[in-house]
A and B are shown apart, each in its own frame.
Chain A
Amino acid sequence: EAGVAQSPRYKIIEKRQSVAFWCNPISGHATLYWYQQILGQGPKLLIQFQNNGVVDDSQLPKDRFSAERLKGVDSTLKIQPAKLEDSAVYLCASSLNRQETQYFGPGTRLLVL
């Protein structure tokens, strides 16, 4: 069974530029999560989708971050404009449903200069 796929794996941008990350969850998984992991910290949930609807986006900085999950499968997370403090690893995870184990992708490492 294929795992959670993410791309790109690495991205370097300058502050005030925009960037987008893509996630393809495990087939059949209804719930999709985006996490931000800053160096030395644990992952922090940004947004949770159930199929193509948002369940929780309370931790998403909505002035610059946006995410969508069209058709309830793939998802994209966008940052516009990026700030220095957005440098982090962005992890995507999926689960069969909200009660089940979350499986993580390899992450996208973002460096904002």
Chain B
Amino acid sequence: DQQVKQNSPSLSVQEGRISILNCDYTNSMFDYFLWYKKYPAEGPTFLISISSIKDKNEDGRFTVFLNKSAKHLSLHIVPSQPGDSAVYFCAASAGSQGNLIFGKGTKLSVKP
């Protein structure tokens, strides 16, 4: 049973536009959420996180939105750049010491 779901395997966006990556979760005990970015042949790199006491967290071009009632979070990248092309993983944990449960990832392609 997948507890963290990324239903879009891929997304293609034009440079300069907004990229929106979505993630749904089923476990109501999850209260800490993260996004990791992965380039080919490299390990995942932490991008941004949000705890359940917030509904938005922003870091430069990256913003994560959390909708607890819908058990949904999204990552917005504005403006998108070709260097953002990578696989993005959503992850969740129950508590800051809980194990991370990852989604399957969404491959983002930003076209010049």
Give the interface of A toward B (CB within 8 A).
4, 40-45, 48, 56, 91, 93, 98-99, 101-107
Contact = CB atoms under 8 A, between A and B. Distances in A.
Provide the main secondary structure of the chain B interface.
loop
B91 interface: yes
A40 B104 contact: yes
B43 A56 contact: no
Given A42-B102, A42-B104, A42-B105, A99 B97 contact: yes
Contacts of B44: 43, 91, 104
30 contacts: A4-B43, A40-B104, A41-B104, A42-B91, A42-B103, A42-B104, A42-B105, A43-B44, A43-B89, A43-B100, A43-B102, A44-B102, A48-B99, A56-B99, A93-B43, A98-B96, A98-B97, A99-B97, A101-B46, A101-B49, A102-B46, A102-B100, A103-B46, A104-B43, A104-B45, A105-B43, A106-B42, A106-B43, A107-B42, A107-B43
Interface of B: 4, 36, 41-46, 49, 89, 91, 96-97, 99-100, 102-105
Nearest to A97: B97
Nearest to B45: A104
A80 to B, nearest CB: 24
B43 A91 contact: yes
A4 to B, nearest CB: 7
Contacts of B89: 42-43
Contacts of A98: 96-97
Contacts of B103: 42
Contacts of B100: 43, 45, 102
Contacts of A99: 96-97
